[in-house]
Structure 1
Amino acid sequence: MTQGKKVASPAGQYFAEVLRLLRGSAGLSQNDLGARMSYTGAAVSAVETGAKPATDEFVEAAEKALDAGGVIRAASKYLRLERYPEHFQGFVQLEQEALSVTSFCTQVIEGLFQTEDYARALLGTGFPPLEEEEVQRLTIARTERAALLERKPVCVIDVVLEEAALRRQLGGREVMKRQYEHLLACVEQPNVNVQVMPTNCGAHAGLFGPLKLIETQDSERIVYFEANGKSTLVSDPNEVGSYARRCAMISRQALRPKESQALIEQLAESDD
Structure 2
Amino acid sequence: MARAENKKAAPTATRLAADIARILRQHAKLTQENLGKKIGYTGSAISAMETGAQPPSEEMLLGLEEVLGQGLGIFREAVKYIGLDKYPRQFTDFALIEMKALTLCTYQAIVVDGLFQTEAYARALISGGFPPLSDARVDELVEGRMARKSLFEREPTALIELILEESALGRTIGSAQIMRDQLLHLIDCAQRRNVTLQVLPLNCGLRGEHAGVRGEMALVETLEHDHLVYVEVQDISMLISDPAEVATRSHRYAKIRAQALSPDDSLALIQRLAGER
Is this a same-fold pair by TM over 0.5? yes
Match of 1:220 among 220, 226, 230: 226
Partner deviation per Cα, 1:137-157 (whole Å, 9 max, x = no partner): 211111211111111111111
Match of 1:263 among 224, 248, 269: 269
**TM-score of the two chains, using structure 1 as the length reference:** 0.90
Deviation at 1:261, TM superposition (A): 1.0
Letter in 1 for 2:199: V
Contact 1:62–1:72, Cα closer than 8 Å, also in 2: yes
Counterpart check, 1:132 vs 2:135: yes
Contact 2:17–2:78, Cα closer than 8 Å, also in 1: yes
Deviation at 1:24, TM superposition (A): 5.3
- Which stretch has the larger CA shift, 123-132 or 4-13? 4-13
Match of 2:245 among 228, 232, 239: 239
Match of 1:182 among 174, 180, 185: 185
Contact 2:6–2:51, Cα closer than 8 Å, also in 1: no
Counterpart check, 1:37 vs 2:43: no
- Which stretch has the larger CA shift, 64-73 or 222-231? 64-73
> Which ranges of structure 1 fall in alignment gaps of 5 or more residues?
none
Deviation at 1:12, TM superposition (A): 1.8
Structure 1: how far apart are the matches of 2:145 and 2:244? 31
Letter in 1 for 2:84: L
4+ runs deviating over 6 angstroms = none
Counterpart check, 1:229 vs 2:235: yes
Match of 2:172 among 161, 169, 174: 169
CA, structure 1 residues 124+189, in 2 after alignment: closer, same or farther (shift >3 Å)?
A: same
CA, structure 1 residues 244+171, in 2 after alignment: closer, same or farther (shift >3 Å)?
A: same
- What is the SS of the residue equivalent to 1:99? strand
Letter in 2 for 1:111: G
Structure 2: how far apart are the matches of 1:91 and 1:4? 29
Letter in 1 for 2:54: K
Deviation at 1:242, TM superposition (A): 1.1
- What is the SS of the residue equivalent to 1:31? helix
- What is the SS of the residue equivalent to 1:47? helix
Counterpart check, 1:80 vs 2:86: no
- Aligned residue pair count: 270
Structure 2: how far apart are the matches of 1:65 and 1:4? 26
Structure 2: how far apart are the matches of 1:70 and 1:176? 42
Q: In structure 1, what is the equivalent of residue 11 of structure 2? A: 9
Counterpart check, 1:99 vs 2:105: no
Structure 2: how far apart are the matches of 1:108 and 1:130? 19
Deviation at 1:214, TM superposition (A): 0.6
- What is the SS of the residue equivalent to 2:125? helix
Structure 2: how far apart are the matches of 1:33 and 1:187? 48
Counterpart check, 1:52 vs 2:54: yes
- What is the SS of the residue equivalent to 2:86? coil
Match of 1:145 among 131, 139, 148: 148
- What is the SS of the residue equivalent to 1:157? strand
- Which stretch has the larger CA shift, 36-45 or 246-255? 36-45
Deviation at 1:50, TM superposition (A): 2.2
Deviation at 1:100, TM superposition (A): 0.9
- What is the SS of the residue equivalent to 1:161? strand
Aligned-residue sequence identity (percent) comes to: 42
CA, structure 1 residues 3+66, in 2 after alignment: closer, same or farther (shift >3 Å)?
A: closer
Q: In structure 2, what is the equivalent of residue 211 of structure 1? A: 217
Contact 2:4–2:51, Cα closer than 8 Å, also in 1: no
Q: In structure 2, what is the equivalent of residue 19 of structure 1? A: 21
